[in-house]
Structure 1
Amino acid sequence: MITASEPSWIAPFSGLSPRQFGKLVTVLRRAGADAVRRGRPWSLPLEERTLLVAAYWRTNLTMRQLAPLFGVSKSAADRIIDHLGPMLALQPRKRLAKDTVLIVDGTLVPTRDHGVAEQSKNYRYSTNHQVVIDADTRLVVVVGRPLLGNRNDCKAWEESGAKAAVGTTMTIADGGYPGTGLVMPHRRRKGEELPGWKQAHNKSHKQIRARVEHVFARMKTWKILRDCRLKGDGVHYAMLGIARLHNLALTG
C-alpha cells in the first residue's frame, strides 16, 4: 500500500520533498483540516489523506483503482478528496510589489462535467483557466474561476476574476488579449514591416512570455488536468491545489 510514512512515495505523487510535504501537512492541520468532526472519523491520518489527494490528481485513477492503494473504500476516498481538495487550494496573493511583472495566459482543461465545460478549439469539452504567474519567480499568483472552454481569453481575463485580482500590476500577455490594456506583442499591419525596435521588443516579449508555457507544461504532468472527471467546482480546486504544490516545489 501507498503510505506517507515511507518517504519514497511522497515525491512521485506530490512533487514535494518529505520536508516540504511535512510543512504542508502542518499548515493544513493549523487550518483545521484535522479537526474532530461529527460522525464517522477519518479512516486515515492527515498525512495519508493529503497524499491520497495528491496521488489522485497526479494519476487520475478512478476511485475503484485508487482506494485499494491506500487501504480504504471507494466512498472514503471520495469523501477525502471532496473535503481536503478545497483546503489545498492556492490562495491569491493579496499584495504585489510595485515592480512586480506578471504573465497571464489561458489553458484548456478537458472536463467531463458538461455543466461547466463547452467544446473548444481542442474539440473536447473543456474549461478555460486564466493563470497568472510572477515573471521573475515563476510562481503562480492567481488562477481565475474556470469558464466555458469556448470563451476567448480577452473576455475570460475579466470574467474569471483574474483581472480584479492583479489590479494595475504590469501584466504581459500574448496577442489574444486585445483591448484589455495588457502588454502584448506589436502587430504588423498588412503590407508593412515592423521597425527594428518593435521586432526586438517582440523577441524579448516572446522569451519572457514563454515562462508561463513552461509552468503549464509542469502542471499538465498532473493527469487530472488532461481529463478531469470531477464535477462542479472540482476542476477549479484541482487547478488551485496543483498550483499550490507547484509553488511549494519551487520555493523549497
Structure 2
Amino acid sequence: MPHLWIRAAIAFWLALLPLLSSCAPATNSSAADSTYQLTAASADGIGKVYLGREIAQVMGHQGAAWLERSSRKFEESPDLAVDLLDLKPTDIVADIGAGTGYISFRIAPEVPEGKVLAVDLQPEMLDMLATRQSEQGVANVEPIQGAVDDPHLPPASLDLAIMVDAYHEFAYPQEMMHGIVKALKPGGRVVLAEYRAENPFILIKRLHKMSQKQVKKEMAAVGLVWQKTDDSLPQQHLMFFQKPV
C-alpha cells in the first residue's frame, strides 16, 4: 500500500511547516516599507523616496576636487556660514558628510576649547581629510568613519551638528537623523545648508537642492524643532533646528 506512505509523508511535512516558519529570522521589511518607497530612479537619484523626496546620488571621492574648488567661496560664502553658526569656544561640533574637511577646518578655529567631529562614509575622503589635517597642524578635528545608517557619534555629546550640501544624499536619512538627534545634548542644534529648490535659476541638479518646506518636514519627523532660516548665503538656505530640552 505505497499510497498510504505517501499520504503519511505529506501529513508529516504539513504538520512540520508551522514549526519551520516560526524558526525563520524576523525581518523589519514592513517597517522599512512604511518609511521608504521605491520608484524608477531619476538621472541624479537612487530611486528611493523619503517623505515625498527622491534621495540624490552620492558624490564619490572621485569628485573631491569639486569640494575644494576656488569658486566655492563665492558661490557658498563658507566663512559667512560659519559666522552665522554663533559658535562658542567650547562647542563640540559634528560635521556630517565632511568630505575633505572644507567646513571642518573653518569651524575648528572657532572652537579652540572644543572640537570638530568630521564624519564621512567614504574612507578615501577621510584619508584626504587626515592629510590636510597633518599639513595644517590642526589638533581639534577628529575624523570619524560613519555608516550609511549611523553617524557613529557618542550619545549626548554634541552642541551642534552641521550638514553642508550633504543631507539630501543620505541613503537612510531617518536612521541617520535619529543617530544625530541621539548624539545631541538637550537643546543641541542641527544646521543644514542646502541649495534652494525654490529657485530654478540656481544651476544645481534638481535632487541636490532642497526646499524649506521639505527640510522642515523631514526634521520634524525626527523630533527637531525649527528655529529659523537664514538666507544670507548667495544660493543656500541655512536652516536651524533644535533638539527639545
The TM-score, its normalising length taken from structure 1, stands at: 0.23
Q: Which has the higher contact order (CA 8 A, sep 6+)?
A: 1
More strand by percentage: 2
- Of the two, which has the highest radius of gyration? 2
The TM-score, its normalising length taken from structure 2, stands at: 0.24
More helix by percentage: 1
